[in-house]
Amino acid sequence: MKVSMKKHIYTVTAVLTGVLVGVLAAVNPFYALDSYLTDGLYTKLTGPSSDIIIIGVDEETLAEYGNFNLWSREKSAALLEYLYEDTDNAPAVVGMDFMFISDYDRETDARLAKAVGDNTVMGTNLVYRGALERDPSGRLIYNTEHIADIEVPYEELAKTATLGFTNACIASDGCVRYALLDVDIPEEISERNTDNSIGEGIHESFDKAVLDVYMEAPPVRTDSKGQFQFMYSGKTGEFQHVSLRAVLAGEVPHTAFRDKIVLAGAYAPGFQDAYKPAVNRGKSMYGVEIHANIIQALMEHKTMVPIGRPVLILLTFIITAGFLLIAKKRKLSVILLLSAVMAGAYILLGRLLATMGIGGERVFMPCVYVLITLAIADIYFIIEKYVLERIRRKHTLDVFKKYVAPEIVDNLSKSGDFELHLGGEKRNVAVLFVDIRGFTPLSEGLEPEKVVAILNEYLKLTTTCILKHKGTLDKFIGDATMAVFNAPFDLDDYIYEAVAAAWDIKAGSKELGDRLYEEFGKKVGFGVGVNCGEAVVGNIGCDFRMDYTAIGDTVNTAARLESNAKAEQILISEDVYERLRDRIEATPVGEIPLKGKSNKIMVYSVDSIGSTDSSIQTDIS
């Protein structure tokens, strides 16, 4: 019942997560983050069109003619006259991305108006000012995009040229990736427009007006705000461009402009007509270059509208909820692979919709919400299947420490084997006991801190040697140490490992004993006993405090051997000797009585063993 409830809760959580992600994707609260990602994913730079050429008022031009604001309309008129004087090589359309709002002087104003042909487009400027309005349902709203006025060229020029607004649509993250086709002209503006340059109805954008002169533009879908998202064709500086100075000096032949879309505009930093494009982030792009990109996007039908909200919600719901439901019972490696595949498929779908479209229409689809959700889900499953598992394992090991020696717990942690036989089992083991000879006389004349320091060095030596040979440190008994080999885990060659550990203890004790003698004038040594045989190993104690240890005659005999060993002597039983006689050298000590045993046992003193690392270092400070 409990498992079923957990499963039910998880399912509900997965479904709610899918719904939440779908709603977030539709509302798009993290627009800037999503745009940063999708600008790169959905960009398909096909290269600037050779049909578009920019004439820039650049640094070279300003250096030749001075401050642009002090120019008369003579230079602009001269440009148009030059472009149109050779009718066989005239451009198809000229777009002037400049504002000629007020009169300057009669002569040059008239010259510019006369130079304008039927295929010249002049820029206007929409003036936005917030205002209270009623929406289609009659509800009163504050419209921040209310058009309060339209700045148009002076009357004589406005009557001869085609007009289009040049305003850039700057997104909330500061980048330009949207554009307007046209706007509805408020009635009050039409009434104020006495020169009739702006009539009632629709006022086209500069880009749409230029393209309408050049060709019959393909139909463009827009969103509820009349906007469309365009795809850039070229990066900053990639559209072919020439300096206005070079054109006016006759250095650029008329043939360079034949049947082209010619855009004239600011091409120097001083104009402050640069924007953040949605490509090559970190570099600004002049307004005239952005117009070139928009015009090419309209020509080549590289425009997008947001995917329908119901479709987006359904799609993101299927991806996120489906992933969570499928991944629950899978291995972590499968989960990570599945999330990567689903993320890749979602990104690929978004790119295909943006670059190829569906039903002839390109569609923009936010993707950061699905990717973030999959990443968070991956982190959750990593925590659940790895980190939490390690926490649970550590907790289990900490619990074991209440009744199992810490050294055994460390081995458990390394092996991952928790199948201990609680209550004990019979195992063939080797048991090692080691004790200090002469420690009591030494300690009587020392300060307690020094006694503890010496004892700790001794215990460090014995522990290091035992663990080096994969023994289990069973316990410390005063200044004695007990170790078991082949329990709780099977250990290859465990009898030899026990004797090798004893030999390393003997080797290390010599250096320790020499330094103690040099410092205190008293020498200590180690007596070691090793026995092998069957013993009962397991948990000994009560329910609130247990020790993992070995008991039985094999253990008692090992303890008796140690008690009979002299300083720097390793005594082993006959059973140990018979098992290792071809690998060690030992001197028979003879039969000795052991306390608690009726029969004497044959004992050997180890003289040497096969190769083993005896470089055990100790340090007393």
Condensed to tens digits (0 to 9), the pLDDT of residues 155-177 reads: 899 889 999 999 999 999 999 99
- What's the confidence (pLDDT) of residue 404? 43
Other C-beta atoms lying within 10 Å of the C-beta of residue 71: 15
Positions of E strands within 267-380: 274-277, 285-286, 303-306, 362-364
**Residues linked to residue 205 through DSSP beta bridges, in sequence order:** 165
Counting every residue, how long is the chain?
Answer: 621
198 vs 443, residue with greater confidence: 443
- What's the confidence (pLDDT) of residue 416? 55
Q: What is the signed CA dihedral for 569, 572, 576, 577, rounded to 10 degrees?
A: 70
- What's the confidence (pLDDT) of residue 570? 96
Which residue matches tokens 């398909």? 44
**Residues linked to residue 109 through DSSP beta bridges, in sequence order:** none
Q: How far apart are CA 403 and CA 455, in angstroms?
A: 25
- What's the confidence (pLDDT) of residue 22? 87
Which residue matches tokens 């005896």? 614
Burial class (CB in 10 A: 0-12, 13-18, 19+), 488: buried
77 vs 149, residue with greater confidence: 77
By C-alpha distance, which of 281, 284, 239, 282 is closest to 264? 239
By C-alpha distance, which of 435, 449, 445, 521 is closest to 478? 435
Q: Is the pLDDT of residue 6 over 80?
A: no
Structural domains in the chain, sorted by start: 2-27+307-393 (no CATH), 45-125+153-301 (no CATH), 410-609 (3.30.70.1230)
E strand or H helix at 371, and its extent?
helix 368-382
For the chain, how many helices (H) and strands (E)?
20, 26
Mean residue pLDDT of the chain comes to 86
Which residue matches tokens 């008690």? 563
- What's the confidence (pLDDT) of residue 613? 45
Burial class (CB in 10 A: 0-12, 13-18, 19+), 453: middle
In sequence order, what are the residues at sequence separation of 6 or more whose Cβ sits closer than 8 angstroms to the Cβ of residue 107? none
Between 388-400 and 406-415, two packed helices, what is the crossing angle to 10 degrees?
150
E strand or H helix at 604, and its extent?
strand 601-609
pTM: 0.65
Percent of the chain past pLDDT 70, that is, above it, reads: 89
Other C-beta atoms lying within 10 Å of the C-beta of residue 214: 22
Condensed to tens digits (0 to 9), the pLDDT of residues 368-421 reads: 999 999 999 999 888 887 777 777 777 666 655 543 445 556 655 665 555 544
- What's the confidence (pLDDT) of residue 615? 43
Burial class (CB in 10 A: 0-12, 13-18, 19+), 371: middle
> Residue 102's pLDDT band (boundaries 50, 70, 90)?
confident
Q: Is the pLDDT of residue 614 over 70?
A: no
Other C-beta atoms lying within 10 Å of the C-beta of residue 75: 17
Q: What is the signed CA dihedral for 314, 316, 318, 321, rounded to 10 degrees?
A: -130
Query: Cis ω on the peptide bond leading into residue 441 (within 30° of 0)?
Result: no
Condensed to tens digits (0 to 9), the pLDDT of residues 515-557 reads: 777 877 767 788 999 999 999 998 777 666 667 789 999 999 9
